[in-house]
Amino acid sequence: MAAYTLKRCLGAVKVIHKCGSHRFIARRCLLSTAYTDTKLWDAREKDHQNLALLATLMDRTYDRNFPVSSLSISRFVDNISSREEVDQAEYYLYKFRHSPNCWYLRDWTVHSWVRQCLRYGARDKALHTLKNKVQYGMFPDDFTFNILIDSFIKDEDFKGACSVVEEVMLQESFDLPTTQILSLYALSNYLATKPELSMSDERALGASLLISGLKQDGSIGLSAQLLGCALLGKVEMAAGIHAVFRGMPLMWTPGYLGRALAVMERVAAAPGDGKLSKDAVDYLEGLLQDLSSASDSSSGEDDESGGEEGKKEEEEVDEDDQAERDKLPLYASRFKDLSGQLQSRGKVDPSPLQVLVSSLVQQSLASAEGPDMEQYQRKVGEWEAERQQLIRREKEMRERAEEERRAHQAAKAAAMQG
């Protein structure tokens, strides 16, 4: 029922898709060409390699139980020139991650990997390695996250974009305004498609909405927080608080539905013009109704069966989780009161969250790109300086090794002559 309610509350967004203005917003809701342009990245000094020879060298090094250098794996990724070589690079990234040098995978190699995947039509590989980051060492910086999210949005693959946003959330990387805007755009547009959500989906979307919403002021941030807490509250009521925070950067104290109501209370009491989107408020209302109905039905079934099964279930439920479920009537009553206050004070925005975020894109995305590109330019310079330093160090070590080899040969020859 709660899933149906989410569909019902977000259904109004479909009407907006029909108007020309929204189609214009959808096209603009992307990073600019200048932001995603590869000229700066491609302008780095080339370190051309024969990938077949490099692969053989790395295989031989692994076979001898010697560590492969971060420079070798960086060269392999930088010299990818086909889709097939993307697959080969994935294998060596995995091998490197499980080698003694695994901690030294360079940030620029991660960035280069994502760019190469996008260039050669292997975005699925970029997402796979990101979702399996522990196995591949994929921990991108904010700029890299942005260009990957943007590529999914451009193709209207909002589910894929949300998968990347989930990783942003897990890394707590919502520092850049561009990342916040892109993430909220992906989340709101995905929910507008009325997807069938599993409990795992609800948890990931809820956490992403909540954490990204905390970074935004005004109606958008507040609405995202409300919807995020509601989704997490639904998971908490179904499976307990441990199912919510395990493996997530979230609070481990129970009460996510209470936190959703606290957002409503804060907006109702605030003197400013902050509002909550109607679809977020409606979703919480429908969720509370569904949970209350499910609770009443469960109580009735327990009475008919003599309460034996109900007692067993209560014994298995954590005490804090049961206490939270017992608060449902209080939450429902409090919601009615707060909803009335919001309505009477004009604190409910009739626009869906998707439209509010689209407006934010129009107003703020272009101006937020500038600082990102300046920072990226500095970062590329720093990465290149570090890469050149590693190349010089490698050259020096090889020269030293060659000198030692020659000295050893000379000493051996002298000993034989003596």
235 contacts 243 by C-beta, under 8 angstroms? yes
The reported pLDDT for the residue numbered 410 is 74
Residue 359 is predicted with a pLDDT of 94
Task: Give the CA radius of gyration of the chain.
Answer: 27
Q: What values do phi and psi take at 396, rounded to 5? A: -65, -40
| Alpha-carbon distances of 23 from 17, 38, 353, 401, rounded to whole Å | 7, 27, 16, 63
- pTM, entire model: 0.87
Separation in Å, CA 292 to CA 2, 69, 276, 296: 11, 59, 23, 6
Say which residues have a Cβ less than 8 Å from residue 162's Cβ, sequence separation at least 6.
186, 187, 190, 204, 205, 208
Handedness of CA 199, 204, 207, 210 (dihedral sign): negative
pLDDT of 16 over the 60 cut: no
- Would you say residue 212 has pLDDT above 50? yes
**23 vs 269, residue with greater confidence:** 269
How far the first Cα of the chain sits from its last, in Å, is 94
**Residue 246, number of CB atoms within 10 A of its CB:** 11
**Domain coordinates of the chain in residue numbers?**
50-140, 196-294+321-350
Which spans in 79-174 are helix H? 83-97, 107-119, 123-131, 133-136, 142-154, 158-170
Residue 29 has pLDDT above 50, yes or no: no
Please indicate whether residue 160 or residue 410 has the higher confidence score (pLDDT). Answer: 160
Q: Higher confidence at residue 206 or residue 16? A: 206
Averaged pLDDT for residues 354-364? 95
Q: What is the pLDDT of residue 405?
A: 75
The pLDDT, as a whole number, for residue 217 is 86
pLDDT of residue 406: 78
